[in-house]
Structure 1
Amino acid sequence: MTKTPYDPAREGAQMSFDGRLSYGDYLQIDRLLDSQRLLTGAHDEMLFIIQHQTSELWMRLALHELDAARTAIAADRAREAFKMLARIARIFEQLNSAWDVLRTMTPSDYTTFREGLGQSSGFQSHQYRLIEFAVGNRNLAMIRPHAHRPELVALLEAELARPSLYDEALRFLARSGLPVPQDVLNRDLRSHWTPHDGVQAVWEAVYRDPKAYWEAYELAEKLVDFEDYFRRWRFNHVTTVERVIGFKRGTGGTAGVQYLRRMLEVELFPELWHLRTTL
C-alpha cells in the first residue's frame, strides 16, 4: 500500500513566507552563498574558499565569546566566564576538524589554483590576529599586514589597549587576595607576555590548595583547556600545509611550514604549563 506523502502543514507547520521572515531571510543565506567567488576554474578552489570562510565565521564567534568572558572576569563573575571559555575550546575543536576536510586536497589539486591566490595568506586574517591579541600573544609587527585597511588597524589597536584574557585572569587572582606582583598588574598592556616567576608562584599556590581557591583553580584549567585546543589547531595547520605544499614558501611570502613551526613554540599561558613540572 502506498503511503500518502507527509505534509507538515497538517500539523501546523508554516509553509507560506510571502512577506514573512523565513529561515533564509533570517540567516541571509543568499548573501552567504553568494560569497564563494572562484577566481580560477579549478574544482578544489571551492573547498579552499569554504574551509577558510567557515573558519572565519567560527573565529567571529570565538571573539564574541572572548569579549564576554573577559567582561565577566573583570566583574568578578568568573563562573559565567567558565561556560564561555569552554565554548571557545569547542570552537577550536570545530576549527581542528576543518583541517581534516582540507587535507583531502592533494598537492596536484592545489597547484591548479594556487597562483590565483596572489599574495593572500591566512596569516593576514585580522580576526585570527584579534584572537591572538585578545588572549595575550601581542606581536606588534603583525599589525603591518593590515596597514592598507585603517579600520582594521583601529580594531587591532583598540584590542591592544584592553587587558588580555590572561591579564584579566591575573587581576582576578589579585582581587581574590592572591599576591600577584604589582609589576605584572601595572604592566604595559601592548607588550608581549613573557614568563614571570612571581606569576608562576601564585598559580602554584592555587594548584597546591584547589579547595581554598576553587574559582581560580577552575579558571586556570579553562585557560589550559583552551590553549590545548589552540595548540592542536596550530599543529594541524602545520601538518596540513606540509602535506599540501611541502616546504615551499607561503603565498604571503612567509617561510611556510618553517614559519608555522615557529608558531608552535608560542605559549599563551606559560606559567600554567610550567607549574606542572614544579608541583
Structure 2
Amino acid sequence: MLLTLLNIVLPVFAVVAVGYIFGRRQHNPDMGFVNLANVAVFCPALVFSALISHPLSLSHSWPLILAGVLCILLPGLMLALFHFRGIERRTQVLAGMFRNTGNIGIPLMVLAYGEDQLGAIIILFVLSNLLHFSLGLFILSREAGRWQWLKNPIVWAAVAGILLADHQSLLPAFVYTSADLLGQMAVPLMLFALGVRLSVGEVGNLGLAFKLNLLYLLAGAGSLALVAWWLPLTADWLKLLALSVMLPPAVLNYLLCEQYRCQPDKMASIVLLGNVMSVAIIPVVVYLTLTYL
C-alpha cells in the first residue's frame, strides 16, 4: 500500500517541483494569465466532463449523497468556531472543507477498495466540485460581493453538466470530446502554478499550517462519526467517506485563493504540508477501514 500511495502522491510533488524550479529560474514570474485561463476555461471543462461522464443518481444513492454533503459542511461549521492569528477565517475554513478528492482521492479509493466502488467514488468527487464552485466561491468572494461567484464560469459548467448528463444527444459528440481534452489540463496546471507560487512567496507559516492540518483531520473525523451515527450507510460507503475526510486539502483551494486575493501564500503552505502529511496518514486510514469496516 505504501508503494501504491507513493506512486500516486509523488507525481503530484514532481509537478509542483517542476513549477518551483521554473519559478526560481525566472525573474518575477507572472502566472496571472495562466491561472485566469485555468479558472475560466480548463476547470469548467473538467467539471462539465465529470458530470457528463458520471451523472448523479439521487434515487439509489441519497444516503451517500447526503453524507458526502455533510462531511464537507460540518467541518466548515466546526472550523468557523476557531480563529488563528495571521490567517483569515475564510482561508482557514475553505482548506478544511474541500479535500483533494480528484487527482489523489479517486485513484487511491479505486486501488484501496476496488473498481466496483467507482460509481460511489465519482459521486463524492462530483459533490465536492459542485460545493467547491458554489459555496466555496461564495465564502471567498466577500470583498467582490457575495454573489460574485455566480459570474464564475465553473458554476455554469456544473449546471450545464447536470442538465445535459441524461440528454447528451442535444449536442454533437465533438463538444464533449473537446471539453474532456481541455479539462485534462486543469489539474497539472494547478500543481505547476502552486510550485511557481511557492518559488516567489514565503514557504513559511509551516507551524500554523501544521496546526491547521491537524485541526482539519479532527474536524473530518468528528463529522464522519456524526454522519455514520445518523445515516443508514453501508460499510463500503463508510470506507470511502472515512478516506475522503482524511485526504489533504485540494490544490484548487490555492488557485481560488490566488484569484480572489485571499492569502494565497498561506494556502500554498497549508496545501503543500497537508499533502506531505498524507503520505503517513492515508496508509493508516486505509488499513483501519479495511480491517474494521
- Same fold flag (TM > 0.5): no
- TM bucket, shorter chain: under 0.3
Structure of higher RCO (CA pairs closer than 8 Å, 6+ residues apart): 2
Q: Which has the larger radius of gyration?
A: 1
What's the TM-score, normalizing by structure 2?
Answer: 0.27
What's the TM-score, normalizing by structure 1?
Answer: 0.28
Q: Which has the higher helix share?
A: 2
